[in-house]
Amino acid sequence: MIIHSSKYKCTECGKCFRSKHDLARHRQIHSGEKPFECTVCSKRFTHPSDLAKHSRIHSGEKRYKCHKCDKAFSTAGSLNTHMRVHTGEKPYKCSLCDKSFSRSHHLESHKLSVHSNRRPYDCRYCGKRFKRSDGLKLHVYSHTGAKPLSCRHCSECFTYHHQVKTHLLKSHNEGNWLICHICQKKFSNSGNHKEHLLRHEGVKPYVCYECSNSFCTVAELKHHQLKHSDFKQFCCGSCGKYFKYKDNVVRHFKGCSVKLGYISVFARQD
């Protein structure tokens, strides 16, 4: 019996792979690179196979039906992943904490956002640093005002994909609203919908290691953790004074006596 060794190791997370091709494909998870774009809705993907699966959504072919609810899927893999909603199965466990996930890419995103401080991508306009290239790309739009996404029904243009989705729902009745079964509030974004449900249920999965306070989202946890730290990442571009919170630097800037006309925001590395 021939045993194949996994000799190609990812320097970011320590995972090992059997070939350079597999390693290169895996590294795209950390870089955030998504070179394959859907010609219908402009959604981008890391791998061509993911784009191929996604394209079936637009063709209307959904052969795989869930026996628990009315949802149908274009691939067997998508159906299997969906079934975890009903079973509660979360096979992907973080090796650094006790949190588990139903999807592998959710685990990778969790490790990058919660357990890593590496921010190799910096904004050329304000110096703010990002963990992923796609995060930087979206941030730059706030400086340039670019609106690269257009509606296929009218002349409206948008900066972000969620804005397009909301516009299609509101203006062209295209797509499906996500409705809260408790208060009937409608959402166009699945992340916002899930967060809303967590608040109804009182679930707060993100726990502060300093004081054990818990929060619904990673963003809320990170904002809270600044209270336990002397780290000040927000800088007034006029006088150079640092602040813990962005709203504080904005208020300061309005009354700053040294006005150069901009606020510089970046993550210090010292």
**CATH code, 176-229:** 3.30.160.60
pLDDT of residue 60: 61
Domain-wise residue ranges, the chain? 176-229, 231-265
Q: Which pLDDT belongs to residue 184?
A: 92
Average pLDDT over residues 36-53: 77
- Provide the b/e sequence for 96-118 (b: ≥16 CB within 10 Å): eeebebbeeeebbbbbbeeeeee
- Residue 260 has a pLDDT of 47
Average pLDDT of span 166-191:
90
Mean pLDDT of the chain: 79
Judge whether residue 4 has pLDDT over 50: no
pLDDT exceeds cutoff 90 at 172: yes
Q: Which residue has the tokens 């890391």?
A: 46
Q: pLDDT of 127-142, one tens digit each?
A: 778 877 888 888 888 8
What's residue 120's pLDDT?
Answer: 79
Is a pLDDT exceeding 50 seen at residue 236?
Answer: yes
Q: Residue 33 above 50 pLDDT?
A: yes
Mean pLDDT of 162-185: 90
| pLDDT value at 101 more than 90 | no
Return the percentage of the chain with pLDDT > 90, whole number. Answer: 8
Over range 47-61, report the average pLDDT. Answer: 73
* Cα R_g (the chain), whole angstroms: 22
Residue 54, pLDDT > 70, answer: yes
pLDDT per position as a tens digit, 55-85: 766 666 677 888 888 788 877 888 888 888 8
Averaged pLDDT for residues 232-248: 78
Calculate mean pLDDT across residues 37-55.
Answer: 77
Most trustworthy range by pLDDT among 35-39, 63-67, 105-109: 63-67
